[in-house]
Structure 1
Amino acid sequence: MMVRTIAVLACAFLFSPPALAAAAAPPIADFFGNPEFSGAELSPSGKYLAVRVGARDKRDRLAVVTLDDGKVQVVGNFSDADIGQFEWVNDERLVFTATDRSVGQGDARYAPGLYAINRDGGKFRQLVSRSGQPFITVGTGGISPRELLPWNTYLLGQRGGQDSEFVYVVYASYTRGQIDYIDLQRLNTLTGNHTSFKRPGDTMHWLLDNNGEPRLTITEEKGVNTLYYRDPAKNQEWRPLTHYNTYTGGQDAFSPLAFGPDGTLYVVSNAHKDKSAVHTYNLATGALSDKPLISLEGYDFSGRLIMNKDKLLGIRHLTDAQGTTWIDAGMKAMQERIDELLPNTINLLTPPLRPEAPWVLVHAYSDLFPMRTMLYNSATKKLTVVGGSHPNIQAPQMAHQKLVHYKARDGLEIPAWLTVPQGAGKNLPMVVLVHGGPYVRGKSWGWDAQVQFLASRGYAVLEPEFRGSTGFGSQHFRAGWKQWGLKMQDDLADGTRWAAAQGIADAKRVCIAGASYGGYATLMGLVKDPDLYQCGIDWAGVTDINLLYDGHWNFTSDLPDGWKQYGMPSLVGDQVKDAEQLKATSPLLQAARIKQPLLLAYGGADERVPLPHGTKFYNAVKQGNPNVEWIEYEEEGHGWELPKNRIDFWGRVEKFLDKNIGAAR
């Protein structure tokens, strides 16, 4: 049976308490290889399971398992590509896209195509052109290129009604690399015919209701978002509900979350408080509910509603870790049963839309190992392992992660994630790992390849959720506006000093590291706090804020013009009003002050932080610093897509750290 053959380890071993750590550190490839199992989705009835599986040096394939007898049917595979996204159209039919995990961003083609096929392998049809040309792999069934939708057509990524042969796709209109608007289309997966929906303006986001009908859209114009409702009581005409600043929000801002089966609109709003919560929204009066459906102490709401075709079952949410609050008594009891079977993990249950079988999908994880996918049979009360992304990772060799808090110098409380190697003592060499964004949440509790790799090599890892990070309330987020290189940087230094004062870190063996904004903060840390950091590792890091604005004639940036015009002046810094501040907080202009050993790595095809950020800085810093290592991965973009490059990079990181703060020091 497919479910049993995919399973690599028994449940009792996977989820039992860790034993003593093995002496040998796990190989780098165990952390940074491509996942061998990377997706599963139950059909609407719950009778069938679609899975994306791969193996080393083989293309990812799409298979369907008939769960009552274990029959397996491979329905999607390419000779020249991997399976990308996939989803059920209905209980008989699936759609999927193509991707290529063997190339970096520089060689990638952002035209994944779209294909449909029945779960028994019948009625195959290509629907969207891939890479700007008709089907590459044999098996088109005589489809004419003229019948295909254009390459810039993509899956919407929302579950429709799953009760017909239709899915929703979006057509992205581009001008000079910038998105003008996103059109919504209803696509027949059997015939390829499609219809578009009337747009009230330059639409950027769409939301379907629980029956799969378009109900909300958000337009963007000159830094202002307007939320429109498609009103069934008024001939399906669009009417505006609210508008607000695209980047800074406002008192009338809220984020639509989902429509319930009864048509109730659920939204996420601060409701004039520091933390956002889930409220209902009255479409007739335009009022939020006084009492939230759910609020999370200490956190903004982040998550989704779990529904079947008839009712709201529960709410998936993120605090320190992911969790679920069940409204449905049956699902709550099932959660308790599964938690008894798997006491050492976070267990996330996903029921089918219209259950006609006893199967429920379970994703289980902890800080000690990556996500595992399982099936729970509500009739037999048994669990079966389906697969895991990194099966060679052994929990006894991993390190526990915990959420800590420390005070910044101005009194603001900073959350941070601390990972300490198993069995380690005090005064450890430590890496301060800075998240990118920066206006995002950096981390939640769980297994992370980069962190666990560093811990497996003997390093403590501190990951601060510095001011400006989202998820911890409006005050925490707004405190980071225009604080690049200033108070945001102080938060990192204060965390480093806290870890040393606690006896966690050896104050003379600390390295700062990060990518994107984290790379910027790494460089500014070496500039501003040379006494704290013995070395720095910057990959794909911003080296000058003005470069983000202006760029250069010989490279392309994918930062939206709207972000540069309406977002960056408020959140990062205004080029005119804050000109002196941007100079003072430019690593490029301060490069001569960096004397510590430095490892720099950039992608030749990076369009978010283009290569000149790295080359200009490298040319400047090496004039006064002989201890600078430079790596360029020509085919990579804003991060490393290829396993060979991830393995190469982290191998260099291991040697660099060992030389400067590790055992070889």
Structure 2
Amino acid sequence: MYFPSLCRRAALALLLTLPLAATAAPAASAQSAPAGNAAAPVPLASFFDGSSFGGALLSPSGRYLAARSGAPGRRTVLAVIDLQQNTLKVVAGFRDADIGHVTWVNDERLAFDLTDREVGPRDTYLGAGLFAVNRDGSNMRQLADRRGEEFVSEAGSFAAKKILPWSTFLMGEDGAQDSEWLYVTSYDFDDDDGHVRNVNLLRLNTLTGQSSVVQRPARVDGWMLDHQGKPRLAMGHERDQTTLYYLDPANDKWRALVSYQSFTGSKGGFTPLGFGADGTLYVTARRGKDTLALYAFDYQAGKVQDEPLIETQGYDFTGDLVANRAKLLGVRYETDAQASIWFDPAMKALQEKIDKLLPSTVNMVSVAASPDAPWVLVRSYSDVQPAVYMLYNVQSGKLNKVGEARPAIDTRRMASQEVLRYKARDGLEIPALLTIPAGTPKGAKLPMVVLVHGGPYVHGSSWGWSAQTQFLASRGYAVLEPAFRGSTGFGARHFRAGWKQWGLKMQDDIADGTRWAIAKGIADPKRICIAGASYGGYATLMGLVKDPDLYRCGVDWVGVTDIQLLYDGHWSFKSDMSDEWKSYGMPEMVGDPVKDAAQLAATSPLQQAARITQPLLMAYGGVDHRVPMYHGRKFYDAVTKTNKQVEWIEYQDEGHGWSLPKNQIDFWGRVETFLDRHIGKDAVIQ
């Protein structure tokens, strides 16, 4: 329920966290720790405790700032700051929930949903709900049900109000932001397995609750609005095919733009990125090249234009458009780290001014919808600095700090991170990140953790502050994070080289990186541990199987223990992986359960469990629908028949990873003790 008294009580605490009148100093760069700090490691909770600041969002005019903020023992509330008057008002807060996603409907009104930061997935029985409120806290209205609990409103009975079902969600796009209307999505589910059958698009009035459904061209599971905030693209998947549909403004009818294979890709495929003010559709595509680039789409020819607009040499173009109501200003993109390219000269000059004020950080700029907005929002970060949010006044040239993701982190005590590449045994270049503890003497051979990302067909880690990486480094460990073959973001050749290579060449890439660190004198060959979650957990187990000479121990959380189990499942849980992925994606990219049965057996940690003799820490979640507790337990029962150095952790309220700060702190505290005992300060090395 909505409690005005809670909002009033939270206002003072929030004011203390948003010192808008203070000019921010340039971010600190990595330096040696102050004298006397060596004996006192950075507290564990500083890395993994929940952040009190939940991000900020400029209003369409740029005059107001919406911010989510909380405090220890208090729920996250929604506040609006008048940047012209330098005043703050908490406009929404709930006794039994936290403010979740937020969007501006127009300059006077916001929409938001709810979450609960105090419970894990097992106890998340309430839907997110959907609400709208004016920026002064008036006219609060519930728009969608909270699945399991009605919202008591002062404005008439529940039955008299138009309330959409709990399966209604914010779209994630701004829309026009010039009326009381916005677009939201509504999900239809299959009765048999609970998977999404259709994603409907609704136009919703945030004052009256009135809504209408946008006509679908076919089965749809994704939508995109154009620059004017109108529905323009729909995406549908059927079996192994993805089709993009375009709502032609000339006749207001849907037509198919392109179809391609959903998982393995095919000629002519592209990914829509967004629309320009003139209606141009911008997409990412390969066009016969190894890496993705940014292109414009030719509607008349029905294909991507021949010449790319932006290419990122050696990397797939991955990013977003940055625009205001008037025009496309530039793009954000990611290679090893994030960066921006500005088409607009004024934005390019503004970026240069901000970078001079904050020379030691990557500074990502967000703009309001109005071209005349007096403020831009800056998210600043580096390898040693967690994200800091600031406002930059385009007239005065001054920066004001809004909030920090991890205010307890001292940047002077964080470890620097290096972007590098090493050669795998077959000559393929493997990108990687190497983090060395602050104050490490030159030439020191360090205990090292090889941290393997999940997925595996994702980008993995990028240069920047990471809680896991920096925590390990703060405890004296070098951290190597390889982007093994199969990782995305480095071109088609690198990606496809990882197909059907679980436990084979993908595993060799990780081992080759470990040997590279030994050869360079970075890692002590007798004190190396491999660790990771999901696929990273699988690679941890297979690393202990295949390379027992390299790894003294392993840490696996929510790790795959057998590929066949991903196909077969178990009566005790319902997988969240789609039948299409298991039918068309996994057989081609991971391995066919029939044709590749022998390979899957040879690369199964479960079937090779007796070969693991090193100390192992395992942790699994009780409501994990990707790699359920059953998978972990089955492997634990097998490995402990021959290995008594296996530690087991269960988090019954967690899913595929740890969502609660208390569980994050508990887990990494156990990891710290485990590593200390086997490769760290308490280890006895023969």
Q: Residue 405 of structure 1 is aligned with which of 401, 421, 424? A: 421
What is the distance in 2 between the residues matched to 1:536 and 1:250? 39
Note if contact 2:23-2:398 (Cα within 8 Å) is conserved in structure 1. Answer: no
Corresponding residue for 2:504? 486
For structure 1, which segment, 469-478 or 118-127, has the greater mean C-alpha deviation from structure 2 after superposition?
A: 118-127
Q: Give the deviation of 1:12 after TM superposition.
A: 2.5
Whole-Å Cα distance in 2 between the matches of residues 4 and 360 of structure 1? 22
Give the drift of 1:13. 6.4
With the length of structure 2 as denominator, give the TM-score of the two structures.
Answer: 0.95
1:232-251 to structure 2, matched below 5 A, reads 232-234=249-251, 236-251=252-267
Report whether the alignment pairs 1:34 with 2:63: no
Match of 1:12 in 2: 25
Q: Structure 2: how far apart are the matches of 1:331 and 1:301?
A: 21
Deviation at 1:140, TM superposition (A): 6.3
Q: Report the AA paired with residue 171 of structure 1.
A: S
SS at 1:207 equivalent: strand
Worse-superposed segment, 125-134 or 222-231: 125-134
Q: Structure 1 residues 576 and 146, CA, compared in 2 at 3 Å: closer, same or farther?
A: farther
1:225/1:244 contact within 8 Å kept: yes
Question: Are 1:73 and 2:86 counterparts?
Answer: no
SS at match of 2:221: strand
Give how far 1:10 is off: 6.8
Q: What residue is the counterpart of 1:155 in the other structure?
A: 170
Structure 1 residues 97-128: Cα deviation after superposition (integer angstroms, max 9, x where no partner): 01000001111136200000110111111000
Distance (whole Å) between structure 2 residues aligned to residue 272 and residue 505 of structure 1: 40
User: 2-side partners of 1:548 and 1:19: how far apart?
Assistant: 47
Q: 1:145 to 1:396 in 2, by over 3 A?
A: farther
Structure 2: distance between partners of 1:132 and 1:468: 42
**What residue identity is the alignment partner of 1:6?**
L
Aligned-CA RMSD value = 1.5
Q: Is the 8 A contact 1:132 1:150 kept in 2?
A: no
Aligned to 2:405: 389
Q: Distance in 1 between matches of 2:435 and 2:519?
A: 16
Q: Does 1:197 align with 2:214?
A: yes
The aligned counterpart of 2:4 is none
Matched residue, 2:651: 633
What is the aligned partner in structure 2 of residue 428 from structure 1?
446
Structure 1: give runs of 5+ residues left out of the alignment.
none
1:169 aligns with 2:184: yes
Shift of 1:156: 0.8
Counterpart pick for 1:114 among 123, 130, 135:
130
Match of 1:221 among 238, 258, 275: 238
- Cα deviation for residue 146 of structure 1 reads 6.5
Answer whether contact 1:15 1:343 (CA < 8 A) is retained.
no
Where does the alignment leave 5 or more consecutive residues of structure 2 unmatched?
A: 1-11
1:305 is aligned to 2:321: yes
How many residue pairs get aligned? The number is 663
**CA positional deviation for 1:273:** 0.1
Larger CA deviation: 585-594 vs 125-134 = 125-134
Alpha-carbon deviation of 1:357?
A: 3.8
* Equivalent residues in 2 for 1:504-543, closer than 5 Å: 504-543=522-561
What's the counterpart of residue 101 of structure 1? 117
State the distance in 2 between where 1:322 and 1:520 align. Answer: 29
Give yes or no for contact 2:29–2:384 (8 Å, CA) kept in 1: no
CA distance in 2, matches of 1:274, 1:3: 50
Matched, 1:587 2:571: no
Structure 1 Cα separation of the partners of residues 270 and 667 of structure 2: 41
Is the 1:126–1:143 Cα contact (8 Å) retained in structure 2? no
Give the AA of the match of 1:535: C
> Aligned partners of 1:3, 1:365: CA distance in 2, in Å?
23
Higher mean displacement: 161-170 or 446-455? 161-170
Q: Which runs of 4+ in 1 moved over 6 A?
A: 1-4
Equivalent AA in structure 2 for residue 207 of structure 1: M
Kindly indicate whether the alpha-carbon contact (under 8 Å) linking 2:30 and 2:384 is maintained by their aligned counterparts in 1: no
- What is the deviation of 1:69? 1.0
Corresponding residue of 1:613: 631
1:342 aligns with 2:355: no
What is the identity, as a one-letter code, of the residue corresponding to 2:566? L
**Contact 1:218/1:226 (8 A) holds in 2:** yes
Alignment counterpart, residue 295 of structure 2, candidates 256, 266, 279: 279
CA–CA separation in structure 2 for the residues paired with 1:289 and 1:556: 43
1:253 maps to: 269
Q: Any conservation in 1 of the 2:126–2:149 contact (CA below 8 Å)? A: no
Checking the alignment, whether the CA contact within 8 Å between 1:3 and 1:70 is kept in structure 2 is: no
For the residues of structure 2 that align with 1:443 and 1:573, how far apart are their CA atoms?
Answer: 25
Identify if the C-alpha distance between structure 1 residues 622 and 16 changes in structure 2 by more than 3 Å, giving closer, same or farther.
closer
Contact 2:66–2:80 (Cα < 8 Å) also in 1: yes
CA distance in 2, matches of 1:381, 1:587: 57
Alignment of 1:337-376 (within 5 A): 337-376=353-392
User: Counterpart of 1:264 in structure 2: which amino acid?
Assistant: T
Q: Tell me the TM-score normalized by structure 1.
A: 0.98
